């Protein structure tokens, strides 16, 4: 019925039916990209710029040297400039990198990278454009003696950037500089602002030097604490256990394999000829057997479903882990000592395992106590939980994140931290994987995956036990010092009394009494050290081991 009560024909209803471009969708739904709220939007822009710089430098084997500057132009109006010393961007790819949604070098690859959704700096271009109406400016060079200064804006209807100007000149410089204006954003020094984002980025990327200039002109340099550039991550084949029927159907359409058997062995990791024979045997025992020597392009949905069901019944080795690139315990320790300077730190990298049936991942955890650890709030200190995914800080949506839930599930009182929420403690957790199960396109929260949460809890409990040993030793040292002072005081009084009774010199008696006190305390130290060594040996032997370690069966993952 229309507004006059008349019935409308279906053809009339579908007159407005039309295709919406990807860019138009994100323009109207920018919250999906993390552009919601004045503080979060600004931090998201910094995140996208810095993430691209780090990925580019690492893939090129370059020590990252990144500069970020924020200048206030007016009320909620800022100019953002970032610069790196990376490999630069070839001119033919500029339009795609900065102006095309869901395009790039990451999304289609089974590889551990910070950003994998093909949005990145194109989202920055779009956000700048819809808040100021101005183009984004790029200066880039691949180091071949030519520099290009470009201004571009996105054609929303075409999901493509229009280059408004391109000034090319000769100069021997290499890297990329991005400049954009934003409105409706706000700079803050609070935990979710750009400064904290860069501080945490420096901790998780100790090989990078990051220079930040805030709107007040204050300049902070996070010096690199290691010269070692991480090896570039390796692309790995998908694991059979993490494959759905629809995945297999689409893979079969584009394979070069002539037979389903060779398609399976060439496409998947841990898929040997022996495993293919097991799949064939299970299929032959079913209601609709077919030969795996047929062309994969002729596979039907039902046949792909049979293959996936057969895979579920078979045990495979856990996914290969050469594609994972953790920060590393020594690198984390250097970064923590450089930035937090704690009284105590413990770092642990768990062995790789798998989530979602066959996606490799690894968990790194660190705990720092005292020094600059924790968050300073007025006159007090609160615990600080630093969440990372593939070395990238996660500052928002913490309550819904698997990392936060895992931290809160640990009974910290058992490990000597009685008031955990108000302790000078920093907990760092980094989840690395070829696929991070984010809860949204904003990539700020990890989904409640049971396997990931279990690994985080196991790691937290291990570093918690290390803190417990430190806390017990610290407590005993304080108690020994108190006993020592008491015994020394009584030794002085006792020496005076014994001198009166025996007629001997008080100094000599006091010296002997003090020697006895120190010998007693030394004996106690040796006994305590022996007990601590026994405790550490127990901890080393307390790891939970899978009797079928290294195998993946059904939904169970081996390490």
**pLDDT values of the chain reduced to their tens digit, one per residue, 559 residues:** 555 556 666 566 555 545 455 555 565 556 666 678 899 999 999 999 999 899 889 888 899 999 999 999 999 999 999 999 999 999 999 988 888 765 544 444 456 666 544 467 888 998 899 899 999 999 999 988 899 999 999 887 777 788 999 999 999 899 999 999 999 999 998 889 999 999 999 999 999 999 999 999 999 999 998 888 887 777 788 888 888 899 899 999 988 889 999 999 999 988 999 999 999 999 999 888 999 999 999 999 999 999 999 999 999 888 877 778 889 899 999 999 888 999 999 999 998 888 877 788 999 999 999 899 988 887 788 999 999 999 999 998 898 899 999 999 999 999 888 899 999 999 999 999 888 888 877 778 999 999 999 999 999 999 999 988 887 776 666 656 666 666 667 677 776 777 778 777 777 777 777 777 677 767 666 666 665 555 555 444 444 443 334 445 443 433 3
What separation in angstroms does the CA of 33 have from each of 41, 45, 115, 126? 9, 10, 12, 11
For residue 329, the surrounding DSSP H or E stretch is helix 329-339
The pLDDT of residue 116 is 45
The pLDDT of residue 10 is 58
**Are β-strands 384-389 and 380-382 bridged in parallel, bridged antiparallel, or unpaired?**
unpaired
Q: What gap in Å lies between CA 135 and CA 151, rounded to an integer?
A: 6
Burial of 212 (0-12, 13-18, 19+ CB in 10 A): buried
How crowded is residue 289: how many other Cβ atoms within 10 Å of its Cβ? 12
Contacts 24+ apart (CB under 8 A), 415-420: 415/464, 415/465, 415/467, 415/468, 415/471, 416/467, 416/468, 416/471, 416/472, 416/475, 417/464, 417/467, 417/471, 420/383
Burial of 528 (0-12, 13-18, 19+ CB in 10 A): middle
Torsion of CA 51, 52, 54, 60, to 10 degrees: 160
Which two structure tokens, joined as six digits, stand for 513? 């009494």
- Bridge partner residues of 353 (DSSP): 361
Q: What is the pTM of this model?
A: 0.75
The pLDDT of residue 380 is 80
């Amino acid at each position: 019925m229309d507004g006059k009560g008349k019935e409308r024909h279906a053809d009339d209803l579908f007159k407005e039916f039309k295709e919406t471009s990807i860019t138009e969708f994100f323009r109207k739904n920018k919250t999906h990209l993390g552009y919601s709220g004045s503080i979060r939007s600004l931090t998201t822009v910094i995140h996208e710029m810095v993430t691209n710089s780090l990925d580019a430098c690492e893939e090129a084997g370059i020590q990252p040297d990144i500069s970020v500057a924020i200048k206030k132009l007016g009320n909620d109006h800022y100019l953002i400039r970032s610069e790196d010393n990376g490999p630069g961007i070839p001119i033919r790819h500029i339009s795609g990198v900065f102006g095309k949604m869901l395009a790039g070098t990451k999304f289609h690859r089974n590889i551990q990278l910070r950003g994998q959704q093909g949005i990145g700096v194109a989202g920055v271009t779009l956000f700048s454009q819809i808040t100021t109406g101005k183009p984004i400016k790029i200066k880039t060079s691949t180091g071949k003696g030519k520099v290009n200064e470009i201004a571009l804006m996105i054609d929303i209807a075409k999901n493509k950037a229009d280059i408004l100007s391109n000034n090319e000149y000769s100069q021997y410089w290499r890297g990329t500089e991005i400049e954009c204006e934003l409105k409706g954003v706000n700079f803050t020094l609070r935990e979710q602002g750009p400064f904290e984002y860069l501080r945490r980025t420096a901790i998780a990327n100790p090989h990078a030097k990051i220079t930040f200039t805030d709107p007040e002109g204050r300049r902070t340099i996070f010096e690199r604490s290691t010269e070692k550039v991480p090896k570039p991550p390796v692309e790995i084949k998908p694991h059979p256990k993490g494959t759905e029927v629809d995945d297999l159907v689409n893979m079969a359409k584009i394979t070069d394999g002539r037979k389903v058997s060779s398609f399976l062995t060439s496409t998947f990791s841990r898929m040997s000829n022996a495993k293919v024979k097991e799949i064939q045997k299970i299929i032959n025992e079913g209601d609709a057997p077919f030969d795996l020597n047929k062309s994969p392009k002729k596979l039907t949905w039902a046949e792909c479903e049979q293959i996936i069901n057969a895979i579920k019944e078979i045990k495979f080795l856990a996914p290969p882990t050469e594609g994972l690139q953790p920060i590393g315990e020594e690198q984390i320790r250097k970064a923590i000592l450089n930035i937090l300077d704690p009284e105590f730190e413990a770092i642990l990298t768990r062995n790789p395992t798998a989530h979602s049936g066959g996606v490799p991942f690894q968990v790194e955890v660190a705990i720092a106590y005292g020094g600059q650890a924790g968050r300073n709030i007025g006159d007090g200190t609160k615990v600080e939980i630093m969440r990372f995914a593939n070395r990238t800080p996660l500052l928002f949506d913490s309550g819904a994140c698997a990392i936060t839930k895992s931290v809160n599930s640990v009974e910290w009182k058992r490990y000597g931290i009685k008031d955990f929420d108000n302790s000078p403690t920093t907990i760092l957790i980094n989840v690395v994987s070829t696929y991070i199960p984010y809860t949204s396109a904003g990539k700020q929260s990890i989904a409640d995956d049971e396997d990931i949460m279990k690994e985080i809890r196991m790691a937290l409990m291990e570093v918690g036990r290390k803190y417990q040993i430190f806390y017990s030793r610290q407590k005993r040292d304080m108690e020994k010092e108190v006993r020592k002072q008491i015994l020394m005081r009584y030794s002085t009084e006792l020496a005076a009394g014994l001198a009166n009774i025996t007629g001997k010199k008080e100094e000599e008696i006091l010296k002997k009494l003090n020697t006895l006190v120190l010998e007693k305390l030394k004996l106690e130290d040796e006994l305590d050290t022996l007990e601590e060594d026994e405790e550490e040996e127990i901890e080393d032997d307390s790891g939970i081991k899978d009797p079928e370690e290294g195998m993946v069966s059904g939904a169970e993952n081996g390490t």
